[in-house]
Amino acid sequence: MNTDKIDLEQAVLIAISSDRYLLNKAVDEGFEPELLRSSPGRVVATMLLSLRDQGVATIDALLLKAQIEERGLGTPQVTEYLEKLMRFRPPQLDQMMSYLELLKDRSSRERLGELASKIQAYTLQRETSKPIVEFTADALQELLEIQKQRVRKRLTPVGELVKRIAREAEERPEGKMLLGRSVAPFERLNEVLSGLRPGFYYGLAGAPRRGKTNLALQLASAVATNHQIPVLFYSWEQTQRVLSARLIGKESGLNPTALLTDDLSHVPGGGERMAKGLAEMHRYGRFLFLVEGNRHDTIERIRASAYNLMHEFRVDSTAIFLDYLQKIPLINPPNEARARIDEISTGLADLSLELACPVFAISSIDKEGCRLDDEPTGEDRYDELQVRPRPTMHNCTGGGDIEYDLDVALILSKDWHATKELEELLKSKYSGGKYPKIDIMVLHIDKNRDAPQEAGAAIQYAFFVHENRFVELDYKTEDQDRPDFHQFAKVQEILSFLTEGGHLGGSRSNAARFNG
């Protein structure tokens, strides 16, 4: 049994000497040999960086040892140090990042202490060889170097960034390129948002039973499918089993409840539809991670999980979905609910920037917001074309300041009039009283940082309730809220679109599947 102990320096060196991905990540975050106190450690670190700069594809302990000996640096102390490193298992990415931060902090404090000693010696006239102007200039330079070391993180001169953008523009194929991760087949949402963008914080709010979780699941599976990157979906509301059943339902057309409770042999085409759903899920099954959130899943723990997944998949990108914001735990939560929600929201905005990934959080809304999205009653029930107020981000539970943190604010509400008209058409289309339950939903884009000028502000969706599936319809235009708008004709267009697209009729013509 190995009883040796390793320190911070050795832990970081073990990580970066065993994995080029970790080495590159450490350099990006400001690792340099000067952070280490140990002389053998600095030799190993210098050689690692030298091999990296030479473009050596695979760096391991044997190559490192051979290169050190070849350059005449293989003293007994260095050899013993290197052999000790080889006996330990490398830490994960999140651990290495924490250790590196501690090394940077330690180095900065030591340098500050040395500078303080020099200043004290100078003020006591123990050192008088330099004029005060020259001495203070040197001291300021040292402070700037300490600051630079502490904050160094992916610093790139603007000149290099401009060259990179110009080169990409010249090499780009015809047509617009998304700035973020594609959520196809939701093409209009792609157009409006330019994909889910790195470093952007998204919020989705709406009343209960509007399909927020299902929409987020569909977006998460789209990102995983289109880009083959790890996607984390945390839920403090549903179990992994239920979320998985919803995904199968979306892909197969089977009712998730039936999947969990019924014998599929009693469901028309159940086995065939299940096989189809599993085949569809195979495209993203290994990239999408469903996590049952608990009181330990703080933002700090989510960050660590994201880092480790990126390490495992050898990628610098991920996407994080959270259901829902108000239930994310804090290590030291404030007593006041509003302050707690603000701290969570600010933490998620910081997380999106630190990981350079989209963070997508679902938010519940308060009673007033739910009332605004209730079915019209009384006189309003018959005045169906009256423009009614709807929920906004200011109706989010526990705080209306979430919108200030968000880069993109999305509100999901129900179009009651269009839903009722569609239901009447479906009743006439299907005999026997069995027809799919479809809600017409509107996704309002209330805030959209850096939005394309031509993009719309609202998109209509058909939500197949029993299948937990959203189908994108079209932009909702302002004239659809006018009293003279022909709503029935629009709903007929929706029905034709769903039928011609195979969402109704054709291979899906068996109406029993909607109640399966």
DSSP string, 3-58: -----HHHHHHHHHHH-HHHHHHHHHTT--GGG---HHHHHHHHHHHHHHHTT-S-
Report the pLDDT averaged over residues 237-245.
90
- Kindly state whether residues 123 and 201 are assigned to the same domain: no
Judge if 505 and 438 occupy the same domain: yes
User: Do the Cβ atoms of 512 and 434 come closer than 8 Å?
Assistant: yes
Helices H / strands E in the chain, number of each: 20, 9
* Residue that is written with structure tokens 């000790």 in the block: 84
Considering the domain architecture, whether residues 378 and 235 belong to the same structural domain is answered as yes
Alpha-carbon gap, residue 159 to 176, rounded angstroms = 24
Residue 168 lies in a domain: no
Q: What is the pLDDT of residues 70-125, one digit of tens each?
A: 888 888 888 888 888 888 888 888 888 888 889 888 888 888 998 898 888 888 87
2-44 pLDDT, tens digit per residue, is 445 678 888 888 888 888 888 888 888 888 888 898 899 989 8
516 pLDDT above the threshold of 50: no
Q: How far is CA 109 from CA 29, 41, 45, 144, 148, in A?
A: 18, 20, 21, 13, 13
**Residue 164 pLDDT:** 66
Clarify whether residues 120 and 201 are in a common domain: no
* Backbone CA torsion sign across 347, 349, 354, 360: positive
Rg (CA), the chain: 29
Domain end (from 151, 186, 219)? 151
* pLDDT (tens digit per residue) in 341-391: 999 999 999 999 989 999 999 998 888 888 888 887 755 554 555 567 888
Three-state DSSP state, 296: coil
Based on the domain organization, do 139 and 63 belong to the same domain?
A: yes
The label of the residue with tokens 């190995």 reads: 2
Q: Do 231 and 129 fall within a single domain?
A: no
Spatial separation of the C-alpha atoms in residues 68 and 46, rounded to whole Å: 10
Q: How many domains does the chain have?
A: 2
495 in Cβ contact with 425 (< 8 Å): yes
Enter the tokens of residue 347: 């933490």
Residue 161 lies in a domain: no
Read off the pLDDT of residues 219-240 as tens digits, 9 standing for 90 and up.
Answer: 999 999 999 999 999 999 899 9
Question: Hey, is 491 helix, strand or coil?
Answer: helix
**Cβ-contact 471, 461 below 8 angstroms:** yes
CA distances from 173 to 176, 186, 362 (A): 8, 22, 35
Q: Decide if 440 contacts 422 (C-beta within 8 A).
A: yes
- Average of pLDDT values for 267-295? 87
Element (H, E) at 405: helix 402-405
Residues 315, 411, single domain; the answer is: yes
Predicted confidence at residue 169, as pLDDT, reads 62
pLDDT class for 1, splitting at 50, 70, 90? very low
**412 phi, psi to nearest 5 deg:** -105, 120
pLDDT at position 506, please? 37
Q: Are 455 and 315 contained in the same domain?
A: yes
Residue 334 has pLDDT above 50, yes or no: yes
Among 151, 180, 208, where does a domain finish? 151
Neighbours of 403 (CB within 10 A): 18
Task: Name the average pLDDT for the chain.
Answer: 83
Average pLDDT over residues 269-289: 87
Query: In the chain, what is the straight-line distance between the N-terminal and C-terminal CA atoms, in Å?
Result: 58
Quickly list DSSP for 214-283. HHHHHHHHHHHHHH---EEEEESSS-HHHHHHHHHHHHH---HHHHHHS-GGGSTTHHHHHHHHHHHHTT
pLDDT at residue 359, rounded to an integer: 97
Residues spanned by the domain of 335 = 197-515
Please indicate, yes or no, whether residues 232 and 129 belong to a single structural domain of this protein: no
pLDDT, position 455: 56
- Cβ burial 466-499 (10 Å sphere, 16+ → b, else e): bbbbbbbbeebeeebeeeeeeeeebbeebbebbe
Of 151, 181, 207, which closes a domain? 151
* 172 within a domain of the structure (yes/no): no
| pLDDT-derived band at 466, boundaries 50, 70, 90 | confident
Calculate what percentage of the chain has a pLDDT beyond 90. Answer: 25
Q: Is 421 within the bounds of a domain?
A: yes
- Using CA atoms of 165, 170, 174, 177 in order, give the dihedral in degrees to the nearest 10: -10
Instruction: Give pLDDT, residue 82.
Output: 85
The verdict on 23 and 137 lying in the same domain is yes
At 485, the pLDDT band (50, 70, 90 cuts) reads: low
Strand order in the sheet with 408-414: 288-292, 231-235, 319-323, 359-363, 201-206, 408-414, 438-448, 458-464, 469-475
Average pLDDT of span 304-314: 87
Within 10 A of 7 (CB to CB), how many other CB atoms are there?
12
Tell me the pairing of strands 408-414 and 469-475: unpaired
User: Tokens 């832990």, residue?
Assistant: 11
Express each pLDDT in 169-207 by its tens digit: 666 566 567 889 999 999 999 989 989 999 999 999 998
Residue 178 in domain: no
Where in 94-239 does DSSP place strands (E)? 201-206, 231-235
- CATH code where residue 115 lies: 1.10.860.10
| pLDDT given at position 157 | 66
pLDDT tens sequence across 140-177: 888 877 776 665 555 556 766 666 666 666 665 665 67
In a domain, 190, yes or no: no
pTM listed for this prediction: 0.76
Of the candidates 188, 218, 214, 219, the residue with the CA atom closest to the CA atom of residue 202 = 219
Same domain, 244 and 371: yes
Burial 75-107 (b: 16+ CB within 10 A, else e): eeebeebbebbeebebbebbbbbbbbeebbeeb
**Longest pairwise C-alpha distance within the chain:** 101
Position 156 in a domain: no
Question: What count of other Cβ atoms lies within 10 Å of the Cβ of residue 266?
Answer: 9
Residue of 218, 437, 196 whose CA lies nearest to 317: 196
- The answer to whether residues 411 and 510 belong to one domain is yes
Residue type, 37: R
Question: 3-state class of 396 per DSSP?
Answer: strand
Query: What pLDDT, on a 0 to 100 scale, did the predictor assign at position 183?
Result: 94
CA 64 – CA 73 distance, rounded (Å): 11
* d(C-alpha 61, C-alpha 68), whole Å: 11
Domain CATH for 275: 3.40.50.300
Residue 1 domain-assigned (yes or no): no
